[in-house]
Amino acid sequence: MAAGADGQKSGRFLGSLKDALVAASREDTGRLEAETREREAAASQGGAIVPLDEATRIVHRSDAASPSAAEAAREARTPRTATAAQDSDSPPTTRVVRASGAKKDDGGSRTALVRGKFQVARGSFDEDPVVGWLVVVGGPGIGQFRPIFEGNNSLGRAESNRIPIDFGDDAISAEEQAYIRYDSSERSFLFVPNLAKTNVVSLNEKRPTSAAELTQMDVITMGRTQLVFVPFCGPDFDWSALQGET
């Protein structure tokens, strides 16, 4: 009996749903026919005939009581603007701009790869070439250095000297307290004290009274400053050897 009761209830429910759908379809059909008669009457009085667009048909075929269907119809009849399109639920479109395939001319600043032996040009010196150095190992300016040039080099505190020892030691004479000479023909260095000065200089803790040959790592003392001699040119190398190459 329970199964029969459930079947009767289900049948009544399905029949009521079918009757409601048929009634809704008849109501939509009647409304559509009424709107069609209104358009034909307006056309007969000289008005423009407004065609029944697809959006209107969709509304009449759908459930008239559904607000979403009516809203969809209004949006279909209204032209979409750029702002409306941006406000829609669709994700924004990203435009990819690709760089031009043309290579930018860098004006020839790229580094060129040179294969094989590269010929180095030899020419005349724009400035006097360096032949060695004096490195400060004691006193003011410790850790600093001064270059020694080819020919005769005067040593003193003033900047006018070819080798200025200007690190703040006022016990060094301002002008030409001593000389360092490099002879390119002999490839040798000489240390020459200026005996006209009362400021004392020493070479390896000895006070020379005449020219003395300089060798690598000799220590020159002037005032409270100690300098170590480091040669670049000598028996094994001289700038004239490079100048003679082609």
Going from the N-terminus, what domains does the chain have, and what CATH number goes with each? 2-79 (no CATH), 130-243 (2.60.200.20)
The dihedral over CA atoms of 156, 159, 160, 162, expressed in degrees to the nearest 10, equals 70
Measure the CA–CA gap between 210 and 11, rounded to whole angstroms.
137
pLDDT of residue 61: 47
* Confidence at residue 55, expressed as pLDDT on a 0 to 100 scale: 45
- Output DSSP code: residue 4: H
pLDDT at 217: 97
- Say what the pLDDT of residue 189 is: 98
CB 241 within 8 A of CB 185: no
pTM (2 decimals)?
0.53
pLDDT at 90: 57
pLDDT, position 241: 86
Going across the sheet that includes 130-138, the strands are 145-149, 130-138, 225-231, 219-222, 201-203
Question: In order along the chain (246 residues), what is the average pLDDT of each group of 10 residues?
Answer: 52 59 64 74 62 48 50 58 51 58 59 66 80 97 97 96 96 95 95 92 95 97 97 94 68
